[in-house]
Structure 1
Amino acid sequence: MTNGPNRILDEFAKLMTDAAGAAQGVRREVETAFKSQAEKVLNSMDVVQREEFDAVRDMALKARAENKKLEARIAELEAKLSKASGEVPEAAPKRSAKPSPKK
């Protein structure tokens, strides 16, 4: 058993170690409660998750690229058809890449 100031310092160090451990436990509990509450609020707002947004965005980009390929193929086929029938091909209306803004 230690005596004097060393014992007091040892007890103080043990007390501080225990307090730090308790503070970490409280911090973890607060973080868990905060995350749970934030997730609950986001779910009630019908906010889409990032993974779902990225998946739909990728699908839209692929669909847009496929549409461009198909438009080019249709134009090529129409040109061949009109050349074969001897008609003058109609100029297809050009569409802008961006949709018009909604008012």
Structure 2
Amino acid sequence: MQTRNPLLNDFADLMTDAFGAAQAVGEEAQAVFRAQADRLVADMDLVSREEYDAVKASLAEAHDQIAALEARLEKLEKAKKPATPRKPRASKAKTAATKSTD
């Protein structure tokens, strides 16, 4: 035969209520912390993921264009034939001066 001890029943009920209250306090503390963290992030003026992805795509496109232009420049430089060096011409003043002294 089981006997019920009212003191133990009261103690069990008290512990159940205490655990429930502790859980509620923990959830409230978590909500307050999350609100403060959200406010801090908003004050930091961070970029959104969409903005970051857009800038990243634009940068990748710019890198591709730069690579294409570098390849085109290299091709043009290879295709350019070196000019044959010419003898420098004497200026008209020099030729006139040399003729008058002769």
TM-score, with structure 1 as normaliser? 0.55
Query: 1:46 — aligned with what?
Result: 45
Instruction: Please report how far the alpha carbon of residue 41 of structure 1 lies from its aligned counterpart in structure 2 after TM superposition.
Output: 2.2
Instruction: Please report how far the alpha carbon of residue 8 of structure 1 lies from its aligned counterpart in structure 2 after TM superposition.
Output: 1.5
Instruction: Please report how far the alpha carbon of residue 12 of structure 1 lies from its aligned counterpart in structure 2 after TM superposition.
Output: 1.1
Amino acid in the other structure paired with 1:15: L
Instruction: Please report how far the alpha carbon of residue 64 of structure 1 lies from its aligned counterpart in structure 2 after TM superposition.
Output: 5.2
Query: 1:78 — aligned with what?
Result: 76
Q: Which has the higher contact order (CA 8 A, sep 6+)?
A: 1
Query: 2:56 — aligned with what?
Result: 58
The alignment of Structure 1 onto Structure 2 pairs a total of residues equal to: 81
Larger Cα-atom Rg: 2
1:4-57 deviation per Cα after TM superposition (whole angstroms, max 9, x unaligned): 3xx2222211211111111111111111111112211221221335x3575256
Q: Hey, what's the Cα distance between the residues in 1 that align with 2:58 and 2:18? A: 54
Distance 1:26 1:76, change over 3 A: same
Q: Hey, what's the Cα distance between the residues in 1 that align with 2:51 and 2:19? A: 41
Please, which runs of 5 or more residues in structure 1 have no aligned partner? 89-103
TM-score, with structure 2 as normaliser? 0.56
Please, which runs of 5 or more residues in structure 2 have no aligned partner? 84-102
Alignment of 1:1-103 (within 5 A): 3-4=4-5, 7-49=6-48, 51-52=49-50, 55=53, 58-59=56-57, 62-63=60-61, 65-79=63-77, 81-82=79-80, 86-87=81-82
CA RMSD of aligned residues (A): 2.9
Identity %: 31
